Amino acid sequence: MTTNLIRAALVAAAGLAAAPAAAQDDMLPVPPGDISITLVPGLTTDAFYITMNRGAQAAAEALGIEVNFQGAEEFDPVLQTPVLDAVIARQPDALLIAPTDSTQLVEPLRRADEAGIPVITVDTFVGDGQYGDGSGDADFPLSYIASDNVMGGRMAARAMADAIGGEGKVYVAHLRPGVSTMDQREEGFKAEMAENHPGIEVLDTQYNENDASQAASQFQAVLARNPDIKGVFGANLFSALGASNGVAAANMNDQVTMIAFDAPPSITNNLSSGQVDAVIAQHPAEIGYYGVMTAFAVIQGQSVPTQIGTGFTVITADNVDDEDIQKFIYAE
Ligand code: T6T
């Protein structure tokens, strides 16, 4: 779609008559050229958020607005909060943020809300994520745009169960408790195993602080205690990268199935050798695109859905080279 067509569609959705682009700008309550939105990722150097920003910039270009990408270099609420405070001081027209902790970011985000900045969370949520269900403020945060992470965890469990024939010991490599996406993936993975794969024993979850080298050494430690380990679910990019390196370093690729969440080239390039068996790719560009579209609608005075779910693609050695699959490999 061209920029003008997208604008026409948005104007039509806002209940206004279609008109040439210049006239539409005047008809919108806030001219697009005046709008600036900030996207605060979980961390700036992660292919997942870099790809999310690509989608956000595509939407910004289509709408003729500005989107800034500003975040910390590590996935840490203590580092994210000062970044957020600096963003609040500059008063963007809306804030899109992936909160790095579901409780610790509530008060910092409330400061944004009190400063009159609409808050939309992307990827992760605060509280229980059920925005607008009557249990909290109806308009704080306004919306949550993300993968269905419980379902993603179930998809990983099914891929694992298939690969190991429904029997054996596995564990979840996780970042840190309190990160909504990770907690939900673990929940979905364990629920699927408990309900449908009783022959699989899920060992204690290993927390790696988003540090791939910790995830690698944790695999070695789990292996020392469980020489018959059959699989690892790396529940995000760094967990999967680290754990799969640990498996390779121990020469255990033949015995240990690796199911990875997230699809940077550093993971998908290891499908053909068997170091990684299946990848559950999120669609971060969709999250960024619809995040910006949602923020734009809010700024124009429209009501928006409290939740928007984005898709997944399962990537294996069999389909990784297909053109329509390659587009879901993250940008770096
Ligand atoms: O898996 C993504 C994201 O969904 C999660 O919240 C944190 O980790 C990633 O950014 C991947 O590193």
Evaluate whether 298 touches 268 at the Cβ level (below 8 Å): no
Q: Give residue 25's pLDDT.
A: 55
Q: Take residue 112 and report the two structure tokens written for it.
A: 């944004």
> Tens digits of per-residue pLDDT, 191-250?
999 999 999 999 999 999 999 999 999 999 999 999 999 999 999 999 999 999 999 999
Q: Is the pLDDT of residue 3 over 70?
A: no
Cα 152 to chain center, whole Å? 11
Q: Which atom of ligand 1 is nearest to the CA of 181?
A: 6
Which of 97, 102, 105, 123 for mutating ligand 1's site (highest number of atoms within 8 Å of CB)?
123
Is 50 exceeded by the pLDDT of residue 258? yes
With residue 96 as reference, give the H or E element that holds it. strand 94-97
Specify which residues 279 forms β-bridges with.
Answer: 260, 315
Quickly state the pLDDT bin for 11 (edges 50, 70, 90).
Answer: very low
Average pLDDT across the chain, whole number: 94
- Is the pLDDT assigned to residue 19 strictly greater than 70? no
CATH 3.40.50.2300, the chain: domain bounds: 2-141+283-311, 149-281
Phi–psi pair at 69, nearest 5 degrees: -115, 115
Non-local (6+) Cβ contacts of 224 within 8 A are: none
pLDDT of residue 187: 98
Q: Is the C-beta atom of 100 inside 6 A of ligand 1?
A: no
Pair 243, 205: CB distance under 8 Å: no
Residue 27 is predicted with a pLDDT of: 84
Confidence of residue 2 (pLDDT cuts 50, 70, 90): very low
Class of domain 2-141+283-311: alpha beta
Q: Is the pLDDT of residue 13 over 70?
A: no
Query: At which residue do the structure tokens 């790719």 appear?
Result: 281
Q: Is the CB of 262 under 6 A from ligand 1?
A: yes
Looking at residue 26, what is its pLDDT? 62
Protein residue with least CA distance to atom 11, ligand 1? 237
Closest approach atom of ligand 1 to CA 235: 1
pLDDT at residue 315 greater than cutoff 80: yes
Statement: the pTM of the whole predicted model exceeds 0.85: yes
**Ligand 1 center to 131 CA (angstroms):** 21
Q: How confident is the model at residue 138 (pLDDT cuts 50, 70, 90)?
A: confident
CA distance 184 to 124: 10
CA distance linking residue 291 with residue 123, whole number of Å: 10
> Are 152 and 160 within 8 A, CB to CB?
no
**Least confident span in 2-6, 110-114, 257-261, 298-302:** 2-6
71: pLDDT strictly greater than 60: yes
- Cα–ligand 1 centroid distance for 23 (angstroms): 41
183: Cβ below 6 Å to ligand 1?
no
Helix segments in the chain, DSSP class H? 3-13, 21-27, 47-63, 77-89, 106-114, 149-164, 180-196, 212-225, 237-249, 265-268, 284-299, 323-326
pLDDT at 24: 54
Q: Is the pLDDT of residue 186 over 70?
A: yes
Fold exhibited by the domain 149-281: Rossmann fold (3.40.50)
Which tops the pLDDT comparison, 20 or 120?
A: 120
* Ligand 1 centroid, distance to 267 Cα (angstroms): 14
Q: How sure is the predictor about 16, in pLDDT bands with cuts at 50, 70 and 90? A: very low
Residue 14 confidence (pLDDT):
46
